[in-house]
Amino acid sequence: MTATTRTTGSADTAAVRRAISSTPRPPRPGRLSAALVFGWRGMLKVKHVPEQLLDVTVTPVMFLLLFTYLFGGAIAGSTSAYLDYTLPGLLVMSVLFTTVYSGISLNTDLTKGVVDRFRSLPIWRPAPLLGSLLGDSVRYVIAGTVIIVVGMALGFRPEGGFAGAVAALALVVAFSFGLSWVFSVLGLLMRSPNAVMNAGFMAIFPLTFLSNVFVDPTTLPGPLEAFVDVNPISVLATASRSLMAGTPDGVAIVVSLAVAAGLAAVFLPLTTRLYRSR
């Protein structure tokens, strides 16, 4: 009985091996397809935990209403005038704040052991990183769209029309994609998601508020005005305003794209190296 069972088991095993060996091995997934799959994974996480969208929907609207109606009359004389000035800047601020969550998400996968599982897959090694940031780019688009739609409901009308608003949003998303690599490095260096969040916001808050997002730099003291003028976030806000106004500022646009490309060129390889070594 035992011998018969063993013989049958061996025959079944041999049959399985023959079937496997006679079947051609499926092709390895391409780099783009693997990255897109991991980007879709990020979307599925939002589907199962919709609360993740609060930071890209409720928070931008809260900032827009707070700054427009609390400071608008004091700074610009009327809320409508201040809305025209500050909405392109708030578009920049809301989307850039969202980039911090790229590092938080990566650190969460790292501390929970998900990254170790990804390394065991026969895929292009950077695919999980690139896919995660591609998925985060969808969050950037959502955050920017919410700001523009709510602003228009409050009376904002971009002189550049629909094309100008879309161009401004595209520029901000491109800049945010480059900046997200910085926070990815932070996510690989920190020990916990809370540490990444605290460090990320400690870095982005001063740069955002020390910019021309909320006030005209000419109203600031000399040294502070000089810093604000060279702040990349100020340059990005200026480019966003010019696109929405229908008078594109070529210098500001080129500088913003160059800064985004520079950030990606420096921190993308660093992120990849840290990802392989952790």
- Mean pLDDT, the chain, rounded, equals 84
pTM over 0.85, yes/no? no
The Cα 187–Cα 146 span in angstroms is: 27
- How confident is the model over 13-33, as pLDDT tens digits? 776 666 666 666 667 667 777
pLDDT band at 45, cuts 50/70/90? confident
Helix (H, G, I), strand (E, B) or coil at 121: coil
pLDDT (average), residues 213-220: 88
Nearest to 271 by CA among 187, 175, 174, 173: 187
Domain boundaries, the chain: 30-277
Question: DSSP secondary-structure letter at 53?
Answer: G
pLDDT at 169: 94
Residue with tokens 């949003």: 169
CA angle 25/27/32 to nearest 5° reads 160
Lowest-confidence segment of 13-17, 56-60, 199-203 by average pLDDT: 13-17
pLDDT band at 1, cuts 50/70/90? very low
- How confident is the model over 77-98, as pLDDT tens digits? 888 888 989 999 999 988 888 8
Nearest to 138 by CA among 165, 164, 173, 106: 173
> Which of 79-83, 119-123, 227-231, 272-276 is predicted most confidently?
227-231
pLDDT (average), residues 127-146: 84
pLDDT at 13: 74
**Contacts made by residues 260-267, CB under 8 angstroms, sequence distance 24+:** 260/174, 260/175, 260/177, 260/178, 260/179, 261/178, 262/178, 263/178, 263/179, 263/181, 263/182, 264/177, 264/178, 264/181, 267/181, 267/182, 267/184, 267/185
Element (DSSP H or E) covering residue 132: helix 127-153
The Cα 5–Cα 197 span in angstroms is: 59
Lowest-confidence segment of 59-68, 141-150, 155-164, 251-260 by average pLDDT: 59-68
